[in-house]
């Protein structure tokens, strides 16, 4: 019979939300159980953020080498071994996973390998390698999500891949379709196109990364088109036939596309079905989401939910912050989380990052706002490094100058967005950015210049209104 153990706090799921919550609770003196059905780090570390960025870093280096002549460097017979790139990706994941295990151990957290089910609001049954019954005063649900499988063309993980199995390729096809033009699909398109794969993105909506607004969608569409990536929008897939060694994709409008492999990237499914939530008095909402308040509390006292399972913002860094808030409240503190300044990054080439409102969203809200857009073609560091494609854009209140939102397309966008997240989270104004000395020459100077433009006082860009004299 499985043993019964007692803890102050139990966390179900060891992804970026769950393990952070566990560490936070342990640091506050609580006994913590962390239950994970597969690998520490969850989707993000094992089949998401980290492995995909490891591969994309290979692509970035390959891109630089191919353009070495632009810097006066001669490199002949440039080639690559994708299987070695995949091995490097695996090594990166393994190294971080091992470090995470050590970190959890150093915090005195008890790790259970297995799946958890509720038996009551304070009781969990663990099935698997570390089978046990757990009593915990507080429970944090952090079970995440997994790729959606479409019944009409289910993934076989050989020719029809999902975002997880696509990371396991050791050889690249000559042609590939990516079904779904959201940020995950676009990152894969950018990765494989860099290595010579003929990529076609198939998107049912009017544009790729449609949720990010027209400005960013248009910028990425233009960049992808220049790179030879074909984009089919307003196009839905009806079925996929396996033909010989490849695939024949049938569109609902009657057209077809022949490719060697396809990646299905049409969203993610929430992992709430196996938890026996009803035994805890929980009833999941639409698509299995668990509703929470700003303290990450469910309607059942003592039970919290964080990360993808809440369907609030399916991003690893949001899950981590939700984990900190949930753990703090579970330990008796009063913590809240607000979502007005969530940065998001799309690791394509060029990189795209955003935080706060887009111009379209500001307009929909009826706000009176200014837009300042500074092109990287006018930025010294971008020209010096041959990375002059892109721009930084700031949305601000026309009267007060408060920054409502920011978008950036181009080199180092992923690093740049933090400054604007800090600004929006602290309700800073254009003057706060303008009065801050930015190091020269750097890419973040673009925020200074964009803020000056939004303030209608540009220095390194022609003014809208010609000065007198």
Q: CB of 314 within 8 A of CB of 145?
A: yes
Catalytic residue among 133, 317, 349, 440: 440
- The Cβ-side half-sphere exposure at 184, using a 13 Å CA radius, reads 25
What is d(CA 448, CA 374) in angstroms, rounded to the nearest whole number?
Answer: 9
Q: What is the dihedral of CA 214, 219, 222, 227, to 10 degrees?
A: -140
Query: Residue holding tokens 């000559």?
Result: 174
| Bond prior to 124 in cis (omega within 30° of 0) | no
Q: CB of 379 within 8 A of CB of 461?
A: no
Angle between helices 49-66 and 82-106 (to 10 degrees): 140
CB atoms inside a 10 Å sphere around CB 410? 26
CB atoms inside a 10 Å sphere around CB 411? 23
Residue 206, both tokens:
């009017």
Query: Residue holding tokens 């035994």?
Result: 279
> What backbone torsions phi and psi does residue 103 show, to the nearest 5 degrees?
-65, -45
Active-site residue flag, 338: no
What is the C-alpha R_g of the chain?
24
- The Cβ-side half-sphere exposure at 221, using a 13 Å CA radius, reads 18
Q: Please choose, from the candidates 135, 104, 138, 108, the residue with its C-alpha nearest in 3D space to the C-alpha of residue 36.
A: 104
205 CB burial (10 A radius; 0-12, 13-18, 19+): middle
Q: What is the dihedral of CA 24, 26, 28, 30, to 10 degrees?
A: 130
What is d(CA 21, CA 34) in angstroms, rounded to the nearest whole number?
Answer: 9
Q: Give catalytic residues, as residue numbers.
A: 440
């Amino acid at each position: 019979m499985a043993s019964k153990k007692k803890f102050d706090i139990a966390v179900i799921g060891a992804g970026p939300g769950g393990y952070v919550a566990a560490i936070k609770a342990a640091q506050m003196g609580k006994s913590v159980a962390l239950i994970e059905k597969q690998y520490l780090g969850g989707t993000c570390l094992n089949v998401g953020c980290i492995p995909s960025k490891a591969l994309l870093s290979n692509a970035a280096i390959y891109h630089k080498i191919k353009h070495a002549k632009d810097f006066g460097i001669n490199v002949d017979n440039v080639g690559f071994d994708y299987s070695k790139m995949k091995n490097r990706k695996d090594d990166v994941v393994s190294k971080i996973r091992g470090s995470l295990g050590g970190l959890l151990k150093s915090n005195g957290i008890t790790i259970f390998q297995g799946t958890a089910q509720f038996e009551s609001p304070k009781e969990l049954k663990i099935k698997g390698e570390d089978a046990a019954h757990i009593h915990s005063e507080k429970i944090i649900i952090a079970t995440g999500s997994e790729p959606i499988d479409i019944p009409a063309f289910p993934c076989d993980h050989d020719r029809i891949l999902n975002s997880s199995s696509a990371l396991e390729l050791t050889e690249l096809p000559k042609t590939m379709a990516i079904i779904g033009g959201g940020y995950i699909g676009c990152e894969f398109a950018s990765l494989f196109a860099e290595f010579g794969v003929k990529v076609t993105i198939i998107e049912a909506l009017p544009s790729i990364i449609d949720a990010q607004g027209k400005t960013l969608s248009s910028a990425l569409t233009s960049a992808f088109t220049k790179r030879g990536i074909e984009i089919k929008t307003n196009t839905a897939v009806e079925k996929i036939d396996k033909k010989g060694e490849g695939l024949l994709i049938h569109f609902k409008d009657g057209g077809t596309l022949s490719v060697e492999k396809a990646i299905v990237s049409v969203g993610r499914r929430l992992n709430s079905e196996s938890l026996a939530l009803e035994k805890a008095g929980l009833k999941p909402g639409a698509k299995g989401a668990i509703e929470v308040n700003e303290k990450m509390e469910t309607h059942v006292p003592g039970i919290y939910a964080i990360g993808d399972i809440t369907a609030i913002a399916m991003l690893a860094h949001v899950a981590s912050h939700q984990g900190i808030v949930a753990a703090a409240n579970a330990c008796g503190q009063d913590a809240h989380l607000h979502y007005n300044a969530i940065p998001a990054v799309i690791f394509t080439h060029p990189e795209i990052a955003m935080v706060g409102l887009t111009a379209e969203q500001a307009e929909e809200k009826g706000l009176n706002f200014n837009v300042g857009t500074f092109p990287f073609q006018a930025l010294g560091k971008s020209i010096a490094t041959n990375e002059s494609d892109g721009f930084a854009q700031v949305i601000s209140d026309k009267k007060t100058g408060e920054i409502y939102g920011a978008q950036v397309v181009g080199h180092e966008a992923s690093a740049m967005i933090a400054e604007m997240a800090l600004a929006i989270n602290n309700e800073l104004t254009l003057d706060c950015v303008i009065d801050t000395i930015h190091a020269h020459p750097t890419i973040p100077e673009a925020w200074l210049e964009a803020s000056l433009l939004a303030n209608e006082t540009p220095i390194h860009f022609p003014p809208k209104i010609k000065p007198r004299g």
